[in-house]
Amino acid sequence: MGTSKENTKKKTLKLIIVNAIAMTVVVVAIPYMVLTWLDSYTHHGQSYAVPDVCGMQLEDAKQLLRENRLDLEIVDYKYKKGAAENEVVEQNPVANFKVKEGRKIMLTMSSSNKPMAIIPAVIDNSSLREASARLKSSGFSVVGTERVNGEKEWVYAVKYEGRKLSNGESVPKGAGLVIVIGSGSSADTDEAIIDEGYFE
């Protein structure tokens, strides 16, 4: 009987020890495996410098980014003077910024469509000084004036490339405009003055 009890105790003790060792292995191994997997999944410690793709055509930019294990996404199109159609004009992140493998680089591509702006309500509604300020704040440049019969300094028209515009009309942003104002004279002849530096 004594021997049977001792054998039972030994088996129980052995089982407890084995279970304790197994639990220790599990407690240590599982976190290690999880951390190893996360490290591999997130490419921990691996980063890539973003190449400069501004000025490149889309296909060339795409190829270069793929060679650097990066992806791309076109997020916008904008007009840039002198840029070719379908050319990269902006990128985010910028060149040489460190990113993870597979990161999407946001690209802004060139567009041939010039941005438009609206002529504010200055025609027959303001003085020369007021119209000049409002046109400039709307993104236009004032390249000179023309004087006609009428109230002095009052705006009677705005011209773009020789054509009279209307309040609220859309023309290319940055366009050079001529403001037609009254001369304060009742003479029958009109006077045209184009003065490049008048409003600078």
What CATH number does domain 116-193 carry, 3.40.50.1970, 3.30.1390.20, 3.30.10.20, 3.40.50.1000?
3.30.10.20
Same fold, 48-110 and 116-193: yes
For the segment 63-70, the average pLDDT, to the nearest whole number, is: 95
* Cα distance between residue 24 and residue 26, in whole Å: 5
Is 17's pLDDT higher than 60?
yes
Is 139's pLDDT higher than 70?
yes
79-108 pLDDT, tens digit per residue, is 888 899 889 999 999 999 999 999 999 999
State the pLDDT confidence band at 29, using cuts at 50, 70 and 90.
Answer: low
What CATH number does domain 48-110 carry, 3.40.50.300, 3.30.1050.10, 3.30.10.20, 1.10.3080.10?
3.30.10.20
Domain ranges of the chain: 48-110, 116-193
HSE, side-chain direction, 13 A CA sphere, residue 134: 18
* Cα distance between residue 84 and residue 112, in whole Å: 8
- Residue 151: per-residue pLDDT: 95
State the pLDDT confidence band at 155, using cuts at 50, 70 and 90.
Answer: very high
Contact 43, 100 (CB under 8 A): yes
- Phi-psi label, residue 81: left if phi above 0, alpha if psi -120 to 50, beta otherwise: beta
114-129 pLDDT, tens digit per residue, is 889 999 999 999 999 9
Q: b or e along 168-194 (b: 16 or more beta carbons within 10 Å of the residue's beta carbon)?
A: eeebeeebebbbbbbbeeeeeeeeeee
Is 112's pLDDT higher than 70?
yes
Alpha carbon separation from 114 to 120, 125, 172 (Å, rounded) = 19, 28, 6
Is 3's pLDDT higher than 50?
yes
- Residue 121: per-residue pLDDT: 96
State the pLDDT confidence band at 28, using cuts at 50, 70 and 90.
Answer: low
State the pLDDT confidence band at 195, using cuts at 50, 70 and 90.
Answer: very low
> Which is nearest to 49 in space by CA: 64, 59, 35?
64
- Residue 198: per-residue pLDDT: 42
Q: Which two tokens stand for residue 97?
A: 């910024």
* Cα distance between residue 99 and residue 79, in whole Å: 28
More confident residue, 79 or 177: 177
Q: b or e along 139-154 (b: 16 or more beta carbons within 10 Å of the residue's beta carbon)?
A: ebebbbbbbbebeebb
